[in-house]
Structure 1
Amino acid sequence: MDILLVEDDDLVARTIIESWPVPGDNIRLISNYKQCLRTIHSAEIDFFDGAIVDVNLPDGNGLEILRTVRRHSDIPLILISGSGSPESRATALDAGADDYVMKPFSVRELQARLTRAVTKSESIRPEVLPCELAIGSVRCDLTRRALLFHGKTLPLTELEARLLSELSRNPGRTCSKSQLSKHACFREYDPRDKTLEVYIARVRRKVEQLDPKSVEYIQTVRGVGYRLVPPTEGADMSNAPQPKNPR
């Protein structure tokens, strides 16, 4: 693979390049924001199979690089950072990042994550989603990626729509955090990473803005995962395994 590495820390950059476990891969290093923008705008970005971008650069922000890349290319891109809240990681995924890796990291793991993103990008097919589902009295149009209630509309991000789609495939049944993370977030579940919880909370807030009663239909099954209760069954299901509804 031809890989673009945007990293201003010489030690980190040298460690990645020298420890990269695939000898045949070619890594090109760019150490600043402005040079990276020139690479993107010159269409040279399309010559790379994947990119690794540091969030914190001395003359700019890796998240802005990501947004700029996404206006020009669908190249698999992983953000790396020495810090980052679950909310900031969720924002990066919403903006189109394929993964978000915290420092310090194993170079072998970084390589595996990038290879997986490139493989998925090459093999992915458009997913056939159900057109519509119900969350209590709130309708969810997955084609438009929107929540609808009595003439009011709230948009959903792509990842939020995938989460609801995955929950709707198992109506009334618990979806584990591992299952949701794998099929909606395209990553293995890590209990230290609260991105999944952040997204569930986001979806609940949006539903609650439209209809506070309907938010009860997205239930937490403590220690396991989440479930979407079919409207015909009602939110107060006696057979729900220890439901909890934090927001």
Structure 2
Amino acid sequence: MRVLVIDDEQTLLDTIKLNWPDPESRIVTATSFSEAKPHIYASRLADFDCVILDLQLPDASGSTILSEIKQIADIPVMMVSGWGDTKFRADTLNRGADDYVMKPVGVSELHARAQRLTGRRAPSRHSAGALLYIGDCRFHPLARELSGDKTTIALTGAESALLESLARARGGAVTRQDLYMKAFGREGRSGDKSLETYIGRVRRRITEAGDDGDRRVQSVRGVGYRLLIEEMASD
């Protein structure tokens, strides 16, 4: 099991890592939203089976982070908190949380709940439902593969994150900052051309797979980029 734990209590994080019942599990920790961003964005969520998320962090609410995670990946999220009445817990579950645990909580209980969540998810992790169609190409975000009549191309993490963000916008424009966060796990800096470089690479990958990448990925002046996912009319 690979688990991302986001909580500002360092003692709790250390306790979880030291006492997690399964020694084969990989536990990654973060004490803030800022520290967790490189794991949440840049396609790294696909490396985890479950997220354990504190409801109150110094730089963001757990509810906000939960919403971000659920927009990016189909991954179980277990909320933990020292407060919350029945209605609040129910509202949090309705907003997408898969479990809600009250502190104090033992590591064995966290492990058991995480096992239940990951076991429930396992059969559908690589289901065909994750396949996205982009014109004549087929894009599988989990496998990071782009396929067409010509070939199947393995994408890098940043390429896959950019393409998935654009594809899930269903033709709408995605801002530069959103693309920077999703592909690189950081905000764009003045003079930084990393996004333009990787947009160029995504265009080439689409062309290599058998479509027209330059026409598919379009610049939106003053905003960012958009992806045409429907069939394009011939000239």
For the pair 1:71 / 2:53, whether they are aligned, the reply is no
Which residue is 1:47 aligned to? 47
| Counterpart mapping for 1:183-194 below 5 A | none
Match of 1:118, SS state, is helix
Amino acid corresponding to residue 108 of structure 1 in structure 2: S
CA distance in 1, matches of 2:19, 2:37: 27
Which residue is 1:98 aligned to? 98
Structure 1 spans left out of the alignment, 5+ residues: 126-247
| Counterpart mapping for 1:190-229 below 5 A | none
Which residue is 2:81 aligned to? 81
How far 1:86 sits from its partner (Å)?
A: 1.2
How far 1:88 sits from its partner (Å)?
A: 1.6
CA distance in 2, matches of 1:87, 1:42: 34
How far 1:41 sits from its partner (Å)?
A: 2.3
Which residue is 1:24 aligned to? 24
For residues 101-132 of structure 1, the C-alpha deviation after alignment (integer angstroms, 9 at most, x for no partner) is 0001121111000100010112369xxxxxxx
Match of 2:84, SS state, is coil
Match of 1:4, SS state, is strand
Match of 1:74, SS state, is coil
Which residue is 2:60 aligned to? 60
**Distance of aligned partners of 1:87 and 1:124 in 2 relative to their CA distance in 1, 3 Å threshold:** farther
- CA RMSD of the aligned region, Å? 1.6
Match of 2:34, SS state, is helix
Contact 1:20-1:107 within 8 A present in 2 as well? yes
CA distance in 2, matches of 1:37, 1:87: 29
CA distance in 2, matches of 1:88, 1:34: 25
For residues 155-187 of structure 1, the C-alpha deviation after alignment (integer angstroms, 9 at most, x for no partner) is xxxxxxxxxxxxxxxxxxxxxxxxxxxxxxxxx
Which residue is 1:117 aligned to? 117
Structure 2 spans left out of the alignment, 5+ residues: 126-235
Which residue is 1:2 aligned to? 2
Contact 1:37-1:65 within 8 A present in 2 as well? no
Amino acid corresponding to residue 17 of structure 2 in structure 1: I
How far 1:2 sits from its partner (Å)?
A: 1.1
Q: Percent identity?
A: 36
Match of 1:68, SS state, is helix
Amino acid corresponding to residue 98 of structure 1 in structure 2: D
| Counterpart mapping for 1:224-235 below 5 A | none
CA distance in 1, matches of 2:21, 2:52: 15
Match of 1:56, SS state, is coil
How far 1:38 sits from its partner (Å)?
A: 3.6
Q: Which has the higher contact order (CA 8 A, sep 6+)?
A: 2
How far 1:33 sits from its partner (Å)?
A: 1.1
Match of 2:72, SS state, is coil
Which residue is 1:186 aligned to? none
CA distance in 2, matches of 1:90, 1:73: 22
How far 1:30 sits from its partner (Å)?
A: 0.9
How far 1:43 sits from its partner (Å)?
A: 1.4
CA distance in 2, matches of 1:84, 1:124: 31
How far 1:37 sits from its partner (Å)?
A: 3.0
CA distance in 1, matches of 2:83, 2:43: 30
Structure 1 or 2: more helix by fraction: 2
Amino acid corresponding to residue 99 of structure 1 in structure 2: D
